[in-house]
Structure 1
Amino acid sequence: MSGGPAAAEEEKMRVMVAVDDSDESFYALQWVLDKLLGVGNNNATDQDESMLRIIHVMEPFPHYVFPGVHAVFPTTSIIQSVNKAQEENASAILAHAVRMCAERMVKAKTSVLEGDPKEMICDVAEQMHVDLIVMGSRGLGKIKRAFIGSVSDYVIHHAKCPVLVVKPPAETNSLM
């Protein structure tokens, strides 16, 4: 039997929140801060950085496009410009997430990754030995989800740990 305060200290849950530039992903982070890591649940002053990981995955810029029948390759300067813009966007997204955590006095480690978001989220969660992946729901309709897929749907079916998809509350004025 492994009881006592020392065992409880070692068994803190490691949570990874995947964020992008959507309101839904920041709502999911806020939900984690309020419901999982809030002072009433786990004392925020006892929380360490290894408990909360916030990741952002940048999709690689395609180095070719097919408008019609011919392949078009962007110049090096265009690729560099797009990469710089993506890095600045990722930095701003994570800065906003860190501010949200700081307001609640919660420490978090952040990471920017590059690749296919759905695969990277699963891979990184496994590498980091995460206990729970949390992500926001974009609310794609059935048709869009069938054609373009859903990152959360993929992660739910392929992650090796539990996945929590946080849906924002329904708009009360949406019918007006």
Structure 2
Amino acid sequence: MFQAYECILVGIDGSKQAFEAFKVACSIAKRNQAFLLAVHVIDQQLPRMMGFAPVNEALYEHEEKLAESYLSACRQYAYDQSFAPLKTLVVRGSARSVLVEDLVSKYRVDLIVMGQSGLHALERVMIGSVADYVIHQARCDCLIVPYKC
């Protein structure tokens, strides 16, 4: 049975693994003639959960610039693959709720693609991985791209 997808969301955190997941998502989207949504979430919850003082706005602005560079690489890859229906977003909030709830309903996402683990090792140790949360809570298909050495 062939599963046709119309809107695919891929989480981008700047890791090599996330970029590999983007490549897989791009291939699936191209094959399905689907819309691809590449998202970087600036997690504002983690510092509070860890008991840190509020983060300076300049730090968030710096993170947004980094996110734009990650997403620029995604746009370039999609262009090189002759893939056009791509939207990139930088969103502030909890990665878990943004990916599983907010964007899935707003864009009618029917597939989420993520790397198995990304840059946030401290978060993974303290409260579990975003990928683990997504596969257990998402109300759409999920594809976790494993780490390849």
TM-score greater than 0.5 by the shorter chain: yes
Evaluate the alpha carbon distance shift between residue 66 and residue 52 of structure 1 in structure 2; reply closer, same or farther with a 3 A threshold: closer
Correspondent of 2:35 among 51, 66, 90: 51
1:115-160 alpha-carbon deviations (Å, 9 max, x no partner): 11111101211221111000011189xxx85643010111111111
Does 2:10 correspond to 1:17?
Answer: yes
Secondary structure at the aligned position of 1:114 is classed as strand
Structure 2 equivalent of residue 129 of structure 1: 108
Structure 1 equivalent of residue 94 of structure 2: 116
Structure 2 equivalent of residue 104 of structure 1: 81
Evaluate the alpha carbon distance shift between residue 30 and residue 121 of structure 1 in structure 2; reply closer, same or farther with a 3 A threshold: same
Correspondent of 2:26 among 30, 33, 54: 33
Structure with a larger share of its residues in helix: 2
Q: TM-score, normalised by structure 2?
A: 0.79
Q: TM-score, normalised by structure 1?
A: 0.68
Structure with a larger share of its residues in strand: 2
1:82-133 alpha-carbon deviations (Å, 9 max, x no partner): 1221111111111111111111011201111111111110121122111100
Give the letter for the 1:83 counterpart. Answer: Y
Give the percent of matched residue pairs that are identical in Structure 1 and Structure 2: 29
Structure 2 equivalent of residue 4 of structure 1: none
Structural mapping, 1:74-113, within 5 Å: 79-107=56-84, 108-113=86-91
Q: 2:11, 2:114 within 8 Å by CA — same for their partners in 1?
A: yes
In the aligned structure 2, how far is the partner of 1:151 from the partner of 1:12?
Answer: 22
Secondary structure at the aligned position of 2:44 is classed as coil
In the aligned structure 1, how far is the partner of 2:62 from the partner of 2:23?
Answer: 26
> Would you say how many aligned residue pairs link Structure 1 and Structure 2?
140
Give the letter for the 2:91 counterpart. Answer: L
Give the letter for the 2:94 counterpart. Answer: D
